[in-house]
Amino acid sequence: MHPTDFTLRGARDALAEGILSSEELTRAHLDAIAALNPRLNAYLTVMEDGAIAAARASDERRRQGLAGPLEGLPLAIKDLFCTAGTRTTAGSRILGNFVPPYESTVTANLLRDGAVFLGKANLDEFAMGSSNTTSAFGPVENPWSRANDPDARLVPGGSSGGSAAAVAARLALGATATDTGGSIRQPAAFCGIAGIKPTYGRCSRFGIVAFASSLDQAGPVARTVEDCAILLRSMAGFDPRDSTCADVPVPDFQAACARGVKGLRIGVPKEYRLDGMPDEIEALWQQGLDWLRAGGAETVEISLPHTKYALPTYYIVAPAEASSNLARYDGVRFGLRVSEPGGDLRDLYDRTRAAGFGAEVKRRIMIGTYVLSAGYYDAYYLKAQKVRALIRRDFEEAWGKVDAIVTPATPSAAFGMDERQDDPVTMYLNDVFTVTANLAGLPGIAVPAGLDRQGLPLGLQVIGRAFDEETVFAVGNAIEDAAGFTALPGLRARPA
Ligand code: GLN
């Protein structure tokens, strides 16, 4: 087997058995990146030398009997996580030359457990987007293509499009990602891989470039549900440097994958049946529910009545928090500085921010400052906070009746790079099934479950109770097993 074809779990076992070394595994991935990244643009920074050195050090630790849970496994890191000594851009010109002096907690946890970093993955600018087309460093291409139109270049989803494309194309065994409104689950679904947004507070936000702090959560993307479970266990855990990080034990998520669904009650929210949704997605959803019933679960129709307000609520709360978080990019402390001789401080701010931020980020800052302004705060921001509480309450009521909720992951398959770019509201509709979990702080996983008529992957989503990722993994794993998803994207690392 070619080293890039292993799952993370398979590579872990192969390393443990001495079938291959981390150096071989890492080199195979770096070769695949050299061959394919010029086309896919999934990595913004490739850490060739650092990765080889890290792999050798890992092989040495293994020889000494000091192998950690992720020993020697090569990963991609979304370029929103600060990596000490390695450029971290957030996909923005304003941070284009920023080299953090410190490591994010999540990446530090991965390094503690022996992981090897291959490089920093492309993303929408400041994680704002659903197609990875807002990156200041060019779009990412989805390694999948349409059967009847193979030349059309498709988006990988966003904002974690580089992470998802890298994993799907076998340019990494797994990757870190973040999800504020769907940025783990939507790109995972578009690229035919798995991705989990854990409960808000499960992973530390320390050292992750902030977008909307009450919604942002880190999580993994990988080719299987079990691989996500292995990665999340290392990423998660209490961190006193993030005051919203929860001091709760981190369970063995991998063990939970094999639990099965017997006796579980699966909620099917009727509000997730959208007008105009492709019938293939409805059919896949029903198929997924059939699989779970065959596994011994009971399905229950439920109502989450405030679902229709989730998207507008998200697009008030997220820009409001973003406008505040992004105020720190002033040309004084971080990254880009644009000034004119004789210009004053205000002039420095204006020029730096005008040159440093792209159009979507500027749109969010304008919406955010507008909804927070004195005259409109009550009408928009306060109202959105109240609706957010109602959305959370909808879920709380549902947990009295069901143990997990299953929905489609996205309302469509991956679309063309030139589609949906003119109208931001059409783009925002991508998140219709995912933003609710962020607003309520709940864990949600996307699992590849089938292909559409064009041969493109479609995903199902499992949402669970707060801090009950174990049930989410169990249900996700059952769907994955039943689906037997083995299709591969056209663009991927190939055996030499
Ligand atoms: N697509 C959503 C947005 O543009 C969500 C992004 C995310 O989860 N980071 O805001």
Answer yes or no: 183 catalytic: yes
Q: Give the atom of ligand 1 at the shortest distance from the alpha carbon of 183.
A: 8
Closest CA to 250 of 235, 231, 237: 237
Please tell me whether residue 193 adopts helix, strand or coil conformation: coil
pLDDT at position 79 is 98
Q: Give the atom of ligand 1 at the shortest distance from the alpha carbon of 435.
A: 5
Establish whether residue 130 lines the binding site of ligand 1, counting it when its CB lies within 6 angstroms of any ligand atom. yes
Angle at 469 between CA 466 and CA 475, to 5 degrees: 120
Q: What residue's CA is closest to ligand 1, atom 5?
A: 181
Closest CA to 445 of 430, 431, 457, 434: 434
Establish whether residue 217 lines the binding site of ligand 1, counting it when its CB lies within 6 angstroms of any ligand atom. no
User: CA-based diameter of the chain, in Å?
Assistant: 73
Strand-pairing partners, residue 116, are 74
Establish whether residue 127 lines the binding site of ligand 1, counting it when its CB lies within 6 angstroms of any ligand atom. yes
* Position 326 pLDDT exceeds 60: yes
Cβ-based neighbour number of residue 384 at 10 Å:
21
Q: What residue's CA is closest to ligand 1, atom 10?
A: 128
Q: Give the atom of ligand 1 at the shortest distance from the alpha carbon of 158.
A: 1
Q: How far is the CA of 196 from the centre of ligand 1 (A)?
A: 15
CA 135 vs CA 17, 139, 144, 168, 224: distances in Å: 41, 6, 20, 19, 27
Establish whether residue 160 lines the binding site of ligand 1, counting it when its CB lies within 6 angstroms of any ligand atom. no
Q: How far is the CA of 412 from the centre of ligand 1 (A)?
A: 16
Q: How far is the CA of 19 from the centre of ligand 1 (A)?
A: 40
**CA 371 – CA 399 distance, rounded (Å):** 32
- Running DSSP on this structure, what letter comes out for residue 380? I
Establish whether residue 181 lines the binding site of ligand 1, counting it when its CB lies within 6 angstroms of any ligand atom. yes
Instruction: Select from 81, 125, 130, 217 the residue to mutate for testing ligand 1; criterion: most ligand atoms less than 8 Å from CB.
Output: 130
What secondary structure does DSSP assign to 103-141, as a single string?
A: --HHHHHHHHTT-EEEEEE--SGGG--SSS-S-TT-PPP
- Spatial strand order of the sheet with 404-408 comes to 43-46, 116-121, 74-78, 174-179, 217-222, 194-197, 444-451, 457-464, 404-408, 265-269, 298-302
Q: How far is the CA of 476 from the centre of ligand 1 (A)?
A: 22
Q: How far is the CA of 123 from the centre of ligand 1 (A)?
A: 11
Instruction: Tell me the residue type at 380.
Output: Y
Q: Give the atom of ligand 1 at the shortest distance from the alpha carbon of 128.
A: 4
Instruction: Tell me the residue type at 182.
Output: G
Q: Report, as an integer, the average pLDDT of 269-281.
A: 92
Cβ-based neighbour number of residue 407 at 10 Å:
25
pLDDT at position 495 is 55
CA 78 vs CA 20, 37, 50, 355, 438: distances in Å: 26, 15, 17, 23, 19
Establish whether residue 318 lines the binding site of ligand 1, counting it when its CB lies within 6 angstroms of any ligand atom. yes
**CA 460 – CA 123 distance, rounded (Å):** 23
Q: Report, as an integer, the average pLDDT of 157-181.
A: 98
* Position 55 pLDDT exceeds 70: yes
Angle at 428 between CA 425 and CA 429, to 5 degrees: 95
List 183, 234, 323, 412, catalytic entry: 183
Q: Report, as an integer, the average pLDDT of 206-223.
A: 98
Query: What phi, psi does 50 have (nearest 5°)?
Result: -60, -40
Q: What residue's CA is closest to ligand 1, atom 4?
A: 129
Closest CA to 490 of 450, 449, 460, 454: 454
For 430-444, the pLDDT digits (tens) are 899 999 999 999 999
Q: Give the atom of ligand 1 at the shortest distance from the alpha carbon of 179.
A: 8
Q: Which two tokens stand for residue 79?
A: 């370029």
Establish whether residue 461 lines the binding site of ligand 1, counting it when its CB lies within 6 angstroms of any ligand atom. no
For 15-53, the pLDDT digits (tens) are 999 999 999 999 999 999 999 999 999 999 999 999 999
Q: How far is the CA of 55 from the centre of ligand 1 (A)?
A: 33
Whole-number mean pLDDT of the chain?
97
* Position 224 pLDDT exceeds 70: yes
Residue 96 confidence class, pLDDT cut points 50, 70, 90: confident
Q: Report, as an integer, the average pLDDT of 8-16.
A: 98
Beta-carbon contacts of residue 328 (< 8 Å; ≥ 6 apart): 334
For 171-206, the pLDDT digits (tens) are 999 999 999 999 999 999 999 999 999 999 999 999
* Position 496 pLDDT exceeds 70: no
pLDDT at position 269 is 98
For 282-309, the pLDDT digits (tens) are 999 999 999 999 999 999 999 999 999 9
Establish whether residue 180 lines the binding site of ligand 1, counting it when its CB lies within 6 angstroms of any ligand atom. yes
Establish whether residue 133 lines the binding site of ligand 1, counting it when its CB lies within 6 angstroms of any ligand atom. no
Q: How far is the CA of 334 from the centre of ligand 1 (A)?
A: 23
List 92, 135, 159, 160, catalytic entry: 159
* Position 425 pLDDT exceeds 90: no
Answer yes or no: 78 catalytic: yes
Q: How far apart are the first and last CA of the chain?
A: 11
